[in-house]
Structure 1
Amino acid sequence: MVAAVLPARVRRGYALGSVATGTFGTVPGLLLLPYLTDTLGVAAAVAGLIVFVPKAWDVLLNPIAGRVSDRSVSPQGRRRPFLLRAGIALAVTFALIFAGPTAPPALAATWVVVAFLLCATAYAFFQVPFNAMPAEITPDADERTRMMSWRVAVIALAILLSGGTAPLVVDAAGHRAMGVYVGLLLLVGTLGAWVATRGVAEDPTDAPTGPLRAQLRVALAVPDFRRLLLAFVAQALGVGTLLAGVAYVARYLLADPAASSVLFAAFVGPALLVSPLWERWSRRWGKRSGYVVSTVLLVVGSLALVTTAGEVPALAYVAAGVAGIGYAGTQLCPLAMLPDVAAAATRATGVNRTGVFTGLWTAGETLGLALGPGLYGLVLAAGGYVASTGGTAQSPSALLAIALGFSVVPAVLVAVSLIPIRRYGGSHG
């Protein structure tokens, strides 16, 4: 029988999987676009497309991964085997992305596309089952919120560690060494979650037997799921755009490549402290309320990042801190609301479509994060940014594009998400 209250080792150990999700969600968005434009010499618009294509593949693959894990049967559990197998593949293929040739640009870009496609495939078969587990291992909505508090704290730590140190590894030892380093981080996270969830009971409700298309229609017919999905996609797009601009802002506006690590610390660091506070807010005033307030803070902080155009690092770091406080809540609240919706749907229908729900969810998140660097690349191209392997001075319009793509564009996208959030019913937990 599924336990309502989980052992502390499960809550904390499950969260270790977020070392992988946080790292993979951060490093490609942070380093892959500048790697293509400034190391391989690929034009900005083309580089944005290269970053997007493997992620677009994941958008199609995630619902399939959810369906496959829904129908999986194993003595180790419905979802756990995917954590191990896909996690190992994820670590290896990530290292391969940065292990290819650096010239000519066409060959180098082809290597990146193929390796990134393989990596994105492995990630789909890790992330979707990982996200599905909370709805199946406890029926208690508050317990799921506590799980998400640990998970968001680990996500923040993973983003801080990977986003803060990966650029330093690049500066010290090059992109190949960075690929191996990040691959090891991914391996630690996936193996940690796999070990910690050993022996945990799962909801035995059977998966649906109909075709995938029909199951997707059923999931999308749930109003609150649609609202959560739309909000989360808009926010993922905004955050993905913001992350893509960090290296450019540090290099061209703050005139210090190392400032990218400081910006990351200012953005992610507050989440390590405020995640428990967002959990308490959610339990006292509701998850939707926490989601609205944290979204507003993320919008305000993002808008304030336009101060990077004034080349005043202190103001940029304060703005990043405000955005980071909001970002923590915009991770915890929806990640706790999703399993509530999936569990409510299972109770109402007697059929477990959790993998389908999480497959669609991760597809939407992947789409947003994938479009972010692509959108930022288009903003750079519109501003006249000049790609160069050796570095070059940029025009005033290009510098303005760097600043606006890092601040105003993400703020507008995140603000749009408030529309579906406010319509969420909130009756599932």
Structure 2
Amino acid sequence: MYVAESRSPKAPAAPAPRPGRRAAAAVPGTVLALGTVSLVTDVSSEMVSAVLPLYLLTGLGLSPLGFGLLDGIQNGFSALVRLAGGHLADRRGADGAPRHKAVAAAGYGLSALCKPLLLLVHTVPLIGAVLAVDRTGKGLRTAPRDAMISLATEPAHRGRAFGVHRAMDTAGALLGPLIAFLVLRLAGGPMLADGGERHGYDAVFTVSACVALLGVLVLLLFVPGRPAPADDGPAPAPGLRAGLALLRLPGLRRLALCAVLLGLTTVSDSFLYLLVQRRLGLAVDLFPLLPLGTAAAFLLLAVPLGALADRIGRRRLFPAGHGLLLLAYGPLLSPLRGLPVVVCVLVLHGAFYAATDGVLAAAAADAVPAAQRGAGLALVGTGQALARFACSLVFGALWSAVGGSAALAWSAAALAGCVLGAAFVLRDSHDVPATDSEVPS
């Protein structure tokens, strides 16, 4: 999600593909292995995410403001440790190789351990603590995982490679809510806050824990420990000061600024699905199926939009993708109702992710020298995550004060302004790989 621009003649041009080479050859085996890990892990995570809003608001009677706090925790705690994860991953081991796989494995393992704890905690504060630890694991693994993808892929194909990874990741997001829906059905359905049993939710949490463990095993057994990047260079001592110094790179600074501004106006998935369910009058037991529409669109569009970003510029597509999210807000603010409106919102929501998530990661990888790849990816990701954390808090408070529709209208207006601002800031940006000689001192 970030790119460093350098117009210096020292910056090498992206290697041209070999004649007759198939497009699929641009995606290394490391990317496919990491995509499999993400697919399995996302099945586990999205099983919980699909039922969590319903469980907290309907099952435990939590207010929208309280839910906004917990939803923000999922992004906020991830952001607090993402920088640490990036710096730890850049540290070299005894063999001189960075510790990307080890740090990623620690993050995946920590999240896997949290899934069984949801069976034991039944109060909002304890659930919030478990979610915080789970998101800590996500924060640790995100930057080293994306660093491994970028270091294993030729710069000219990074958009496509991240698109393939995100498509596989989204296949898990597609399967997770469906499995949660089926488990709830088989276990007797969700229970309400009036003293009814919660065995339906417990069944979902149990299956999720087993799937998360499988994802950790796939990572340990099938992901190479070192992707052997061609542009690996000197390794400056990792640290917070060194990471923040990366903002001296003009391309990274512009991209980080835009990611933060747009994150401040991006309504979280959970709130969007709650608005769809309440505004359009969907049955409560259909709620876990809503993420399926987003995931299906994301799955279909991630690879073609990633390839498009390689051609037209990743930092041009990033703000345009947020324009798709703005279009998704439109039907929810209109008097229209019915299944076509639901489909339209979810397809646009998925297209937004396809045009921004992997695209931003690919752009960020170009912006940062290989020796600080983990720290650079973590820096931009942390800014975006903290911005989304703030957005969840503000949106939850607005919903409690003025209602969901009014809160969404305010968010849409702010997002429109930020999309225009980001397009202006990035208008002259170019996707040029950074070199190790550009490491800020």
> In which range does the TM-score fall when normalised by the shorter chain?
0.7 to 0.9
1:305, 1:407 within 8 Å by CA — same for their partners in 2? Answer: no
Aligned partner of 1:338 among 361, 364, 373:
364
Is the counterpart of residue 36 in structure 1 residue 29 in structure 2? no
Displacement of 1:269 = 1.3
Equivalent residue, structure 1, for 2:345: 319
Report if aligned partners of 1:18, 1:158 keep a CA contact under 8 Å in 2.
yes
> Partner residue of 2:432?
428
> Aligned AA for 2:248?
A
Which residue matches 2:109? Answer: 88
Question: How many equivalent pairs are there?
Answer: 394
TM value normalised by structure 2? 0.77
Closer, same or farther: CA 26–73 of 1 in aligned 2, 3 Å:
same
- Alignment partner of 1:182 out of 208, 211, 214: 208
Please say if residues 278 and 329 of structure 1, whose CA atoms lie closer than 8 Å, have aligned partners that are also in contact: yes
Matched, 1:143 2:169: no
Say if 1:186 and 1:216 are closer, same or farther in 2 by CA, change over 3 A.
same
Following TM superposition, by how much is the alpha carbon of 1:8 offset from its aligned partner in structure 2, in angstroms? 4.0
Distance in 1, matches of 2:265 and 2:184, equals 26
**Structure 1 pair 42/12, CA: closer, same or farther in 2 (3 Å)?**
same
CA distance in 2, matches of 1:142, 1:312: 43
| Cα distance change of structure 1 residues 412 and 166 upon mapping to structure 2, 3 Å threshold | farther
Contact preservation (8 Å) 2:163, 2:354: no
User: Which letter maps to 2:202?
Assistant: R
Going from structure 1 to structure 2, the CA distance change for 1:90 and 1:321 (only over 3 Å counts) comes to: same
8 Å contact from structure 1 (residues 231, 418) kept in 2: no
Q: How does 1:10-409 map to 2 (within 5 A)?
A: 10-19=30-39, 22=42, 31-53=51-73, 55-73=75-93, 78-96=99-117, 98-102=118-122, 108-138=123-153, 140-170=154-184, 172-173=186-187, 174-198=200-224, 200-202=227-229, 204-209=232-237, 212-236=239-263, 238-247=265-274, 249-251=276-278, 253-307=280-334, 310-342=336-368, 345-346=369-370, 352-383=371-402, 401-405=403-407, 409=411
Query: 2:41 & 2:409 partners in 1: Cα distance?
Result: 24
How big is the shift at 1:93?
Answer: 0.6
Separation (CA, whole Å) in 2 of partners of 1:23 and 1:237: 27
1:328-380 alpha-carbon deviations (Å, 9 max, x no partner): 112232121111111xx45xxxxx22221122233234324434543442233
| Contact map agreement 2:50 2:180 (CA 8 A) in 1 | no
- Whether contact under 8 Å (1:100, 1:111) holds in the other structure is no
What percentage of residue pairs aligned between the two structures are identical?
19
How far apart are the structure 2 equivalents of 1:276 and 1:128? 21
**Aligned partner of residue 355 in structure 2, secondary structure:** helix
Structure 1 residues 99 and 69: alpha-carbon distance in aligned structure 2, compared to 1, 3 A threshold:
same
Q: 1:137-183: CA deviations, max 9, x gaps?
A: 34x21232221121121232222222444355345532222223333
Q: Which amino acid aligns with 2:418?
A: V
> Kindly tell me: are residues 330 and 181 of structure 1, through their superposed partners in 2, closer, same or farther at Cα, counting changes over 3 Å?
same
Deviation at 1:32, TM superposition (A): 3.4
TM-score (norm 1): 0.79
**What letter matches 2:352 in structure 1?**
G
Aligned partners of 1:124 and 1:53: how far apart in 2?
Answer: 12
Tell me, yes or no, if the aligned pair for 2:92 and 2:99 is still in contact at 8 Å.
yes
* Aligned residue number for residue 395 of structure 1: none
Shift, 1:73, TM fit: 1.1
Q: What whole-Å deviation, never above 9, does each CA across 1:271-290 have from its counterpart, x for those lacking one?
A: 22222321332233222333
Query: 1:249·1:403 contact (CA, 8 Å) conserved in 2?
Result: no
Contact 1:83/1:191 (8 A) holds in 2: no
1:167-216 Cα deviation digits (max 9, x unpaired): 55345532222223333444444443444431532454343226x33213
Give the Cα separation in 2 of the matches to 1:413 and 1:356.
28
Change (3 A) 1:240 1:428: same
Equivalent position SS for 2:61: coil
Contact kept, 8 Å, 1:302 with 1:408, in 2: the verdict is no
Find the residue that maps to 1:16 and give its secondary structure: helix
Cα 1:47/1:161, change in 2 over 3 Å:
same
Query: In 2, are the aligned partners of 1:234 and 1:368 still within 8 Å (CA)?
Result: yes
Label 1:8 to 1:227 Cα distance change in 2 as closer, same or farther (>3 A). Answer: same
- 1:264–1:213 Cα change, 3 Å: closer
Does the 8 A contact of 2:160 with 2:304 survive in 1?
no
Using the alignment, how far apart are the partners of 1:422 and 1:144 within structure 2? 24
Aligned-pair CA distance for 1:54: 5.6
Contact 2:275–2:332 (CA under 8 A) maintained in structure 1:
no
Q: Assess, with a 3 A threshold, how the Cα gap between structure 1 residues 248 and 329 changes in structure 2: closer, same or farther.
A: closer
Please give the alpha-carbon distance, in whole angstroms, between the structure 2 residues aligned to 1:373 and 1:251.
Answer: 18
What is the CA distance between 1:291 and its match in structure 2? 2.6
The 1:207/1:166 distance shift into structure 2, 3 A limit, reads farther
Gaps of 5+ in 2: 1-14, 18-24, 188-199, 434-441
